[in-house]
Amino acid sequence: MLKKIILVNLILVLVLACKKDEVKIESHTSEITFLHSVDGNLSHFNEFIYTNEYGNNYNLLTLRYFISEVELKALDNDIIKFDDIIYVDASNPDFLKATFNKKIPNKTYSQIKFTFGISTTQNVTGLFNNFPQTSMEWPVPMGGGYHYMKLEGKLANLSDTINYNVHTGPLNGNPNYFEVVLPLDLQVEDNKFAINLNMEINNWFNNPNTINLEDIVGGMMGNQDMQQKLKENGVDVFSIVP
Amino acid sequence: MKKAIIYFGLALTITIWLLLSCKKDVVENYDNYIPTPVEIEYPQSFPDLEIPTDNSPTKEAIALGRSLYYDKILHKNQVLSCSACHDQNNAFTTMNSNSLAHINLGWNHSFLWNGKIQGTLEDIMLFEVEDFFETNIELLNSSEKYRVLFKKAYGVDSIASQNVAFALAQFFRTLNSFNSRYDKQMQGIVNFTIEEYEGFDIFYTERGDCFHCHGTSLLHDNLFHNNGLDASPDLGLYMITQNSDDLGKFKTPTLRNIELTAPYMHDGRFQSLEEVVDFYCDNLNYSPTISPLMKNVGQGGVNLTPYERVCLIAFLKTLTDDFFITNPALGAP
């Protein structure tokens, strides 16, 4: 009997010793969550009337945009790049988060940089065939490619309610996109990160240019002067928030 | 003698009965039939065509779907087929109805003017079979022709509503239009006339501003809009969502073959492209849910000049696909 017990134990030991180590698949999913505010408060669609610097009373119905060429810069000047062109729809929960499956070196990152819109070399008609991105197309007669942003809603004025469309994009090939550089204090420890990027919508309409939305009621896609003003105003639209 | 005759009669009856009971059901001939896979072709500029894995396209299922499309057997009283309201000569709609044209529906995720059915072609076809036509499935099951066709296409001995829907969906996935004069111009094969080109410019700039809803290679945005038809609009998408923001919103139809698909709008109120263009130029009506893309509602519309209206219509006519409306593979079998 004792011999049998020893034999069984020996067999068990051999089997367990030969058992393969499980291959551990690590997940390194980082994310950027997109938030949208008006005067520091979370924006609501089709609900409140907001007021910009000029004094336009307006609401929000549509906010869709692209960001691209995201980069993280570490304290030691290492750069991590993300090739994705990210589509954001502020009223659609499916498009309020960008995820990246990339192992991020564990270190401190002091800066995030990205392009608001899509750079000229990438922004060509045919880049997107599928919805919803394809519906951001910028017409060929106006230069082709895709809108950077569609910000739409209604203006309330004394006599009427009228619609506004703030549509920015590559009018006739002009580089109306711009770079955003924001400070970070990001300590990456598990090879992944999560940050919140906020768009302060009212800042599109001020600093340095005060925008009267009634000036663009008929549209601004073909107005390079207005495209330039919006580009300049983009300087303080974005921030990293807790 | 009498006994011999009786015995002979009995033997003959038994023999015939035995022969009949051993006779094979015709569909059993196709027990091992393998349908022929096919690939649906479409331009690179189109979105990806999503095909459910349980209804991959085959020659047999497409042919079956086509047969059903043109057959009154679909209707509960056998008085209507799909083709009764969806005529190939009119790009699969008809002049006396406001039914949406059957063009490129494989790329849609919402069906019917008010978006009542969401999902795939299989979903809308099941609605058509069970709710619209109320197809008498037993009639199909008693048809040797259809029992054989369904056996070959789907391997089924007994036809069910889902099989009918799947076959129709397969045929619908071939009702694709992408060979219009406009497509050929974009490929550099033909040149527009001056009027057509000016119309193209009006369509694709904020002068006419048509592209914001009727852009992309499909000539629609896969969305719903209140386009300013009425100050008190019909319910539209609200009927489905019960969301007051959706009052008056209807599905953006494709403009492909638009020259052929009158009357226009969800209620067929406009009989001609001229009436449609005049509406968008001068007669927009504000309502609280009007699309923000209707930027010029305060002026009644985009106020095109008479010449600009002629040019826009000239451009719209370039969206007609002569191959699509004459392709025998899509016509009655």
pLDDT band at A47 (very low <50, low <70, confident <90, very high): confident
Return the pLDDT at A239. 98
Residue B176 has pLDDT above 60, yes or no: yes
In this prediction, residues B107-127 reach a mean pLDDT of 97
Return the pLDDT at A18. 55
Helix (H, G, I), strand (E, B) or coil at B83: helix
Chain B CB contacts of A222 under 8 Å are 205-206
Residue A12 has pLDDT above 70, yes or no: no
A217 contact B CB<8A? yes
Which amino acid, residue B42?
Answer: Y
Return the pLDDT at B3. 80
Return the pLDDT at B18. 62
Residue B138 has pLDDT above 80, yes or no: yes
Return the pLDDT at A36. 97
Q: Which of A62, A135, A164 sits opposite B216 (nearest CB)?
A: A135
Q: Among A45, A128, A130, A223, which would you mutate to test the B interface (most chain B Cβ atoms within 10 Å of its Cβ)?
A: A130
Chain A CB contacts of B178 under 8 Å are none
Q: Which of A126, A134, A218 sits opposite B206 (nearest CB)?
A: A218
B43 contact A CB<8A? no
In this prediction, residues B234-239 reach a mean pLDDT of 97
Chain A CB contacts of B211 under 8 Å are 137, 139
Return the pLDDT at B97. 83
B44 contact A CB<8A? yes
Cβ-in-10-Å burial (0-12, 13-18, 19+) of A213 comes to buried
Return the pLDDT at B298. 87
In this prediction, residues B174-186 reach a mean pLDDT of 97
User: Lowest-pLDDT range, A57-61, A156-160, B192-196?
Assistant: A156-160
In this prediction, residues B87-96 reach a mean pLDDT of 92
The Cβ-side half-sphere exposure at B33, using a 13 Å CA radius, reads 22
- pLDDT tens digits, one per residue of A174-199: 999 999 999 999 999 999 999 999 99
Chain B CB contacts of A217 under 8 Å are 295-296, 298
pLDDT band at B98 (very low <50, low <70, confident <90, very high): confident
B297 contact A CB<8A? yes
Q: Which of B45, B47, B211 sits opposite A131 (nearest CB)?
A: B47
In this structure, the number of other CB atoms found within 10 A of the CB of residue A211 comes to 21
**Nearest CA-CA distance, residue A185 and chain B, Å:** 40
Model pTM?
A: 0.89
A130 contact B CB<8A? yes
Chain A CB contacts of B216 under 8 Å are 131, 134-135, 137
B217 contact A CB<8A? yes
Chain B CB contacts of A161 under 8 Å are 286
Q: Given the DSSP bridges, would you call strands A97-101 and A41-42 parallel, antiparallel or unpaired?
A: unpaired
pLDDT band at B193 (very low <50, low <70, confident <90, very high): very high
pLDDT band at B130 (very low <50, low <70, confident <90, very high): very high
DSSP class of residue A62 equals E
**Nearest CA-CA distance, residue B324 and chain A, Å:** 22
Return the pLDDT at A27. 76
Rounded-to-integer distance, Cα A198 and Cα A202, Å: 12
In this prediction, residues B122-132 reach a mean pLDDT of 98
| Greater pLDDT, B187 or B13 | B187
**Nearest CA-CA distance, residue A126 and chain B, Å:** 6
A-contacting residues in B 105-144 (Cβ below 8 Å): none
Q: Which residues pair with A57 in a beta bridge?
A: A51, A156
Return the pLDDT at A223. 97
- pLDDT tens digits, one per residue of A230-239: 999 999 999 9
Residue A8 has pLDDT above 80, yes or no: no
Rounded-to-integer distance, Cα A219 and Cα B19, Å: 81
B211 contact A CB<8A? yes
For B303, nearest residue in chain A (alpha carbons): A218
Rounded-to-integer distance, Cα B82 and Cα B65, Å: 11
% of chain A exceeding 90 in pLDDT:
81
How many beta-carbon pairs below 8 A join chains A and B?
74
Helix (H, G, I), strand (E, B) or coil at B253: coil
B292 contact A CB<8A? yes
- Residue B254: closest CA among B101, B125, B118, B110: B101
Kindly give, in sequence order, each residue whose CB lies less than 8 Å from that of residue A54, ignoring residues fewer than 6 positions away.
A205, A210, A211, A212, A213
Return the pLDDT at A3. 64
% of chain A exceeding 70 in pLDDT:
87
- pLDDT tens digits, one per residue of B151-162: 999 999 999 999
B195 contact A CB<8A? no
In this prediction, residues A16-38 reach a mean pLDDT of 76
User: Lowest-pLDDT range, A16-30, B18-32, B171-185?
Assistant: A16-30
A159 contact B CB<8A? no
A142 contacts A221 by C-beta, under 8 angstroms: yes
Kindly give, in sequence order, each residue whose CB lies less than 8 Å from that of residue B208, ignoring residues fewer than 6 positions away.
B202, B280, B302, B304, B308, B312
Return the pLDDT at A25. 62
- Residue A123: closest CA among A101, A142, A138: A138
- pLDDT tens digits, one per residue of B272-326: 999 999 999 999 999 999 999 998 898 899 999 999 999 999 999 999 999 999 9
Return the pLDDT at B8. 78
In this prediction, residues B78-93 reach a mean pLDDT of 96
In this prediction, residues A104-113 reach a mean pLDDT of 97
B42 contact A CB<8A? no
**Nearest CA-CA distance, residue B320 and chain A, Å:** 21
In this prediction, residues A12-40 reach a mean pLDDT of 75
In this prediction, residues B117-131 reach a mean pLDDT of 98
Return the pLDDT at B222. 94
Return the structure tokens found at A9. 């134990």
- Residue whose pair of structure tokens reads 């904020």 in the numeric block: B206
- Is A152's CB within 8 Å of B293's CB? yes
- Is B204's CB within 8 Å of A131's CB? no
- pLDDT tens digits, one per residue of A128-174: 999 999 999 999 999 999 999 999 999 886 556 688 999 999 999 99
Return the pLDDT at B22. 59
Return the pLDDT at B207. 95
Rounded-to-integer distance, Cα B333 and Cα B62, Å: 12
Chain B CB contacts of A166 under 8 Å are none
